[in-house]
Structure 1
Amino acid sequence: MAGYRKLSRTADQRKALLRNQVTALIYRGKIVTTESKAKEVRKIAEGLIALAVKERDNYETVTVTAKVARKDKDGKRVKEVVDGKKVTVYDEVQKEIKKDKPSRLHARRQMLKVLYPVKEVPAEAAGKKKNTKEIDLTAKLFDEIAPKYADRNGGYTRIVKIGQRKGDAAMEVVLELV
């Protein structure tokens, strides 16, 4: 007996499907799919969440000095004339950043092997590249989802049956984060 469901797909198609659904589950919080796909997605998602819960506080805060371009009220860089050339003016700023310890960095990379990159497009700029932003799902796992499940030992997802699909009578379910 196999250790996983084949879902009537080749290995590369199955891997892409599961990665896509795990990414959607973590980004949106719930997805609607068939029961067998949901059970496979649940395995992967719970593993990622468990990894995030285990490594959520495994970082150190470091203060760094960074050069940032000075900007005017319109958001454009301030330029100054030096020796006949226009030069951008920079200010030094102190920033605090989170520096991952090695095990958390490894966990982040393991998550990135599974999760696809997600781009969020604002509603008013639909179909345009302007104002799109990349969502960091690993940061979402560490900062939002892991603290929510810190005192929970597994069971981070729930499968709720919603009935049969009209076309092929496959059992549809809602897979959601608890």
Structure 2
Amino acid sequence: MKHGRKVPKLQRDASHRKALLANLVCALVEHRRIRTTLAKAKAVRPLAEKMVTLGKRGDLHARRTAISELRQPGTVKKLFEEIAPASKERQGGYTRITKLGQRRSDSAPMAFIEWVDSFVLPSAKVEEAEAEVVSAEAPAAEDAEPKAKRASKKKAEAAAE
């Protein structure tokens, strides 16, 4: 009998399923919202919420447990520093599943899974991000200028000297 065995198998063996769910949680942490099938979204929700609960604990054992589950230390760092503090007041239900309808190719039901609490970057990280955007825009403006215009400017400067 299958009493108490409610793990969605997703037509995969145990190791493949564990790796799939870990990768989906990592994608959710990185992108804050992912589009996947409804079955996968429902399967990943418990693991994602357990990881946020570990992040709220925040001790070394919780961090190592999360790394052993997700296998990506950088993602665990982002989870513990950004996502878990945003959900500090919430007692559970950290994710939301929104149904999207059928996929065109195979009519699989699709869904978004996303974090309920929108989290804000700390002010220092926001300033760094703005500085990166400004520095990234300056070289892009020079590269957007056609070579012919740059050559004509150089000729004009040379003639002025």
> Normalized against structure 1, the TM-score is what?
0.60
- Tell me the CA shift for residue 26 of structure 1: 0.8
Question: SS at 2:67's partner residue?
Answer: helix
Which structure is larger by alpha-carbon Rg, 1 or 2? 2
Match of 1:105 in 2: 60
| Cα distance in 1 between the residues matched to 2:80 and 2:25 | 16
> Normalized against structure 2, the TM-score is what?
0.66
Superposed structure 1 runs of 4+ greater than 2 Å apart: none
- Tell me the CA shift for residue 116 of structure 1: 3.4
Higher helix share: 2
- For structure 2, the 5+ residue unaligned runs are 117-161
The one-letter code of the counterpart of 1:157 is T
| Cα distance in 2 between the residues matched to 1:54 and 1:15 | 23
Q: Provide, for residues 140-160 of structure 1, a one-character-per-residue CA deviation record: whole Å limited to 9, x for no partner.
A: 122111211111110110000
Match of 1:116 in 2: 71
- Tell me the CA shift for residue 27 of structure 1: 1.1
Question: SS at 2:77's partner residue?
Answer: helix
- Tell me the CA shift for residue 164 of structure 1: 0.4
Higher strand share: 1
| Cα distance in 1 between the residues matched to 2:69 and 2:30 | 13
- Tell me the CA shift for residue 7 of structure 1: 0.4
Higher relative contact order (CA 8 A, sep 6+): 1
- Matched residues, number: 113
- Tell me the CA shift for residue 174 of structure 1: 0.3
Q: Provide, for residues 112-141 of structure 1, a one-character-per-residue CA deviation record: whole Å limited to 9, x for no partner.
A: 012233xxxxxxxxxxxxxxxxx7222212
The one-letter code of the counterpart of 1:105 is L
| Cα distance in 2 between the residues matched to 1:105 and 1:25 | 22
Choose from 40, 44, 64 the match for 2:47: 44
| Cα distance in 1 between the residues matched to 2:64 and 2:108 | 35
The one-letter code of the counterpart of 1:166 is R
Contact 1:53 1:142 in 2 (8 A): yes
| Cα distance in 2 between the residues matched to 1:23 and 1:114 | 10
**Quick one: percent identity of the two aligned structures?**
46
Compute the RMSD of aligned alpha carbons: 1.3
The one-letter code of the counterpart of 2:104 is K
Q: Is 2:130 aligned against 1:175?
A: no
